[in-house]
Structure 1
Amino acid sequence: MTKPVLTTTDLSSYGKTARLILAEKNVDYDLHKVEFMSLGEEDYRAAHHPFAKVPAFRHGDVHLYETAAIAQYVDEMFEGPSLQPVDPETRAQMRKWICVADAYVYPSVITGLVMERVVAPMNEVEANEGLIAAALPEIARVLDVIEHELVDRDYLVGSLSLADFFNATMLSFLPLAPEGASLLEGREAVSAWIARMTERESYAQAA
């Protein structure tokens, strides 16, 4: 069988999610790392992702972009424990949580806080304090919603699923920013869930 290839950058949370799922399924794949500044180049758009994002995935004649599509394909194509619930209701709940990651977690946690407080200084760019201030209440709301969901369960839909990898991967970046670490204080269910996820062997493999 043709060896899959995953294309991503070092700092992409979505790229890390894809790598985690490949590791969970024990898939032997090639990792193609690209520089963030190269994503807008026409060669990259033509070969990997027309919207200049990461990750992108190729497996023989199958070429995918968008992490949700990649994750579903990997889970269904390769052997190993399924990361998607069988029954329609629970699978719909899983998809809901993936949408939550895309619509609410990423914009607040990654774009609003991590990119400004952590990544911008790495590139000698001043953080936009206004964006950070606007993101913090949104992050608090996200954490409260997930905290409520995890009070009586270990994973978002009961058993481990793709939803956990999408959300926990993004939230695992919070301690990198002082504000993020503060927001996690007192939210014991969320903190325990993030620890549970980051202690998995797949996280070490995708580091």
Structure 2
Amino acid sequence: MPALTVSDPSYCSTKITAYWSTFKSSPTLSLCSVSLSTNPSPFPHIRAFSLHTQLPSCVLRALLPKSRSRTKVSASSMATGVQEVRPPSLDSTSDPPAIFDGTTRLYISYACPYAQRVWITRNCKGLQDKIKLVPIDLQNRPTWYKEKVYPPNKVPSLEHNNEVKGESLDLVKYIDSNFEGPSLFPSDPDKRQFAEELLAYTDSFNKGVITSFKADGMNDADAAFDYIETALSKFEDGPFFLGQFSLVDIAYAPFIERFQPFLLDVKKYDITAGRPKLATWIEEMNKNEAYKQTSLEPEEYVATYKKRFL
């Protein structure tokens, strides 16, 4: 298992024992073990403990108690340890699932960035066993999907409590608010306000970059990525948009991971050139296995975008 090590002399043995008892009592957190190392001197002081886990780091960050010492999360702790086998996409020849049987289902397309947002959210909250993934072949979609599941006939959609909801940004917030796991939305008022501004900008960002695909110059793309660079500079408590990982990172990641290889291939345009914050953000995102498990190979994105936009 990947390990997360916390060094903090302020934790005494009783605190660790109480914390670990609470930790183990949750079924979601049962995929963990802990090891303690102490001073040469006797208890009560605990110098460090290592948490070996199959949970994503976005879960771990929220679960670890706050302390005066800085919590260090290594790149290895980003791995979920849960290697989900992707089910085959359902097409026009496929039978429908047992709709409204009490199972929560997330309908996606593996190639759709909007659906990927919700898929990432599900994974980062550790809900692989709670929300069943149902991929749809959008090029040969089954008629029952529109007739019985989601009349708008697009993805993503979420079947939950005998209802089906859609729209990716609404769904990431819905899953974050209505399912177990750590919050992926900040409680700090300033961060919440900035989060809403960034979420509202996502469509403008995408349009600005896509406009540059066939344009002679890169002015629109420059403006869009410069906005991102500035946004990533606002908070100093981490490399993500709000400092710590959040739904905002989830909202942008599927698009940036497509734009980066496509623009480099077609326009010879490096989106990270002169943008160190963006470069660091991409590097940190790529350490998050819960996110990486939703991605395709860059070559697939390039081929898809060439076919679609050129």
TM-score by length of structure 2 reads 0.54
Residue 171 of structure 1: CA displacement? 0.7
- 1:81 equivalenced with 2:171 (yes/no): no
What are the Cα deviations for residues 130-183 of structure 1, in whole angstroms up to 9, with x where unaligned?
Answer: x52179432221110111122353121232211111012211112321237523
- 1:156 equivalenced with 2:241 (yes/no): yes
1:168 matched residue in structure 2: 253
Could you tell me which amino acid in structure 1 is paired with residue 204 of structure 2?
Answer: Y
- 1:32 equivalenced with 2:134 (yes/no): yes
- Name whichever structure is richer in helix by fraction: 1
- 1:4 equivalenced with 2:104 (yes/no): yes
Residue 53 of structure 1: CA displacement? 2.3
Q: Is the 8 A contact 1:8 1:33 kept in 2?
A: yes
Distance 2:219 2:292 in 1: 31
Runs of 4+ in 1 over 4 A off after TM superposition: none
Residue 37 of structure 1: CA displacement? 2.6
Could you tell me which amino acid in structure 1 is paired with residue 244 of structure 2?
Answer: S
What are the Cα deviations for residues 84-116 of structure 1, in whole angstroms up to 9, with x where unaligned?
Answer: 112444222212211111x2223344x557xxx
Structure 1 residues not aligned, in runs of 5+: 114-130
Q: Is the 8 A contact 1:38 1:44 kept in 2?
A: no
SS at match of 1:193: helix
Distance 2:217 2:143 in 1: 32
- 1:93 equivalenced with 2:210 (yes/no): no
> Larger relative contact order (C-alpha < 8 A, sep ≥ 6)?
1
SS at match of 2:181: coil
Q: Given the superposition, is the C-alpha separation of residues 71 and 133 from structure 1 closer, same or farther in structure 2, using an over 3 Å criterion? A: same
Q: Given the superposition, is the C-alpha separation of residues 60 and 143 from structure 1 closer, same or farther in structure 2, using an over 3 Å criterion? A: same
Q: Is the 8 A contact 2:150 2:164 kept in 1?
A: no
Q: Is the 8 A contact 1:105 1:167 kept in 2?
A: no
SS at match of 2:106: strand
SS at match of 1:133: coil
Number of residues paired by the alignment? 187
Identity of aligned residues (%): 23
What are the Cα deviations for residues 64-87 of structure 1, in whole angstroms up to 9, with x where unaligned?
Answer: 100112111111122222101124
Residue 190 of structure 1: CA displacement? 0.6
Higher Cα radius of gyration: 2
1:119 matched residue in structure 2: none
- 1:47 equivalenced with 2:162 (yes/no): no
2:275 matched residue in structure 1: 187
Q: Is the 8 A contact 1:83 1:162 kept in 2?
A: yes
Q: Is the 8 A contact 1:57 1:63 kept in 2?
A: yes
Q: CA RMSD in A?
A: 2.6
TM-score by length of structure 1 reads 0.78
* Residue from 69, 74, 77 that aligns with 2:170: 69
Residue 48 of structure 1: CA displacement? 3.7
- 1:141 equivalenced with 2:219 (yes/no): no
